[in-house]
Amino acid sequence: MTILAEADRASGEESMEWIIKSEELDKSFGNFEALRGISLEVPAGSIYGFVGPNGAGKTTTMRILTTLTRPSAGEAWVAGHSVLEDRRAVRRAIGYMPDEFGVYEDLRVWEYLDFFAACYDIPENQRKALVGDLLELVDLSHRREEMVDKLSRGMKQRLSLARTLAHDPQVLILDEPASGLDPRARVEIRELLGELAKMGKTIFFSSHILADVEDVCSHIGIIEAGELIMQGSIDELKLQLMAHREIVITVLDHAVAERVRSLVNNLDRVVAAEIITPKNGRARVRVDFAGNDLELGELSRRLVADDVLLLGFNEEERDLEHMFMRVTRGLVT
């Protein structure tokens, strides 16, 4: 977000630190606008989670970045190459894993990788070692003679990921790599993405589940109905969302709660305050607070100074998913 934008301006260079960058991408299918003004900034070396509900436009965006679809308007660059002008160079720089696993059922695991390595013009005498390395990386060495269609979904996803690595691309574009997997297989994919990032690859991957990307990503972009509604590093997004902290104040009864509500409503940094359902017979007030810790301490001091008997003064722990829900529900502006 702002910090990245400023760094970009300061460097005075066009798109050097963004390994993927798009400017105002639009895509229409007939009258339907699937993408509206998508401007992505994916820093080199990042693990960028591209998150949004089904139908938001994730696959369409990825198909543009991989040169499989042309945008109706706008432009994008991958590893410095234009997706409109220099499609071959873009394709060389990326490994793309589509959301559907292709049908190559009558191949063995090693043959499948050997086939794709051959497609990338890797000489025959190098392919054996390469296939061995790739299988080891995705932990499928013990399945090398297995027929591809006998693999579990999680293994197929890992095999598919290995395939995108055959030509040692700088950038991986992975469309919902964890979709349809059981929790254990999701963790395995996540760990694998972390390893690939350590090898210096930039990973741009999509998911419709925010919680899925939170642990592994350094950056996030959130797309909804064809528009990018947020983008930045995880830390920046958390900070931005944290500007709206949720404090629950517990007091003896409803009358005290009323007094607390009207009191805090007049204080700086309080965005809103409302009485919520009692818990264990105690009245509670929830405060949407936009201040730092010092200001939060000040808030509790004011209550005490006004003779409010505080039974509880707690900040709700919130994960990214929860905060995001509040933002998109319009609770936070």
Ligand X SMILES: Nc1ncnc2c1ncn2[C@@H]1O[C@H](COP(=O)(O)OP(=O)(O)O)[C@@H](O)[C@H]1O
Residues at the interface with ligand X (CB under 6 A): 29, 32, 34, 52, 54-60
- In whole angstroms, the minimum distance from the beta carbon of 159 to ligand X comes to 22
Q: Are 289 and 270 in contact (CB under 8 A)?
A: yes
Q: Residue 179 Cβ, how far from ligand X at the closest point, in Å?
A: 10
Q: Which is nearer to Mg ion, 96 or 110 (CB)?
A: 96
Return the one option of Mg ion, ligand X, none that residue 29 interacts with (CB less than 5 to 8 A, by type). Answer: ligand X
In this structure, the chain runs to a length of 333
Q: Pick one of Mg ion, ligand X, none as the site partner of residue 52 (Cβ within 5 to 8 A by kind).
A: ligand X
Amino acid at 23: E
At 119, list the tokens.
């497609």
Token reading at 106: 């009558």
End-to-end CA distance of the chain: 16
Binding of residue 59 to Mg ion (CB under 5 A)? yes
Please state the closest distance from residue 242 (CB atom) to ligand X, in A.
27
Query: In terms of CB distance, is 223 or 320 closer to Mg ion?
Result: 223
Q: Which is nearer to ligand X, 98 or 278 (CB)?
A: 98
Residue among 30 and 200 whose Cβ is closer to ligand X: 30
> Using CB distances below 5 to 8 A depending on partner kind, what does residue 159 bind out of Mg ion, ligand X, none?
none
CA nearest neighbour of 219 among 10, 7, 18, 13: 18
Q: Candidates 50-58, 112-120, 250-258, 319-327: pick the segment binding Mg ion (CB under 5 A).
A: 50-58
Main-chain dihedrals φ then ψ at residue 232, nearest 5 degrees: 160, -175
114 versus 212: smaller Cβ distance to Mg ion: 212
Beta strands in 175-258 (DSSP E): 202-207, 219-224, 227-233, 245-251
**Cβ proximity to ligand X, 32 vs 329, nearer residue:** 32
CB of 172 to Mg ion, least distance (A): 16
Tokens 């293994």 correspond to: 155
DSSP code, position 73: E
* Alpha-carbon span 58 to 50, nearest angstrom: 7
Would you tell me which residues interact with Mg ion (CB under 5 A)?
58-59
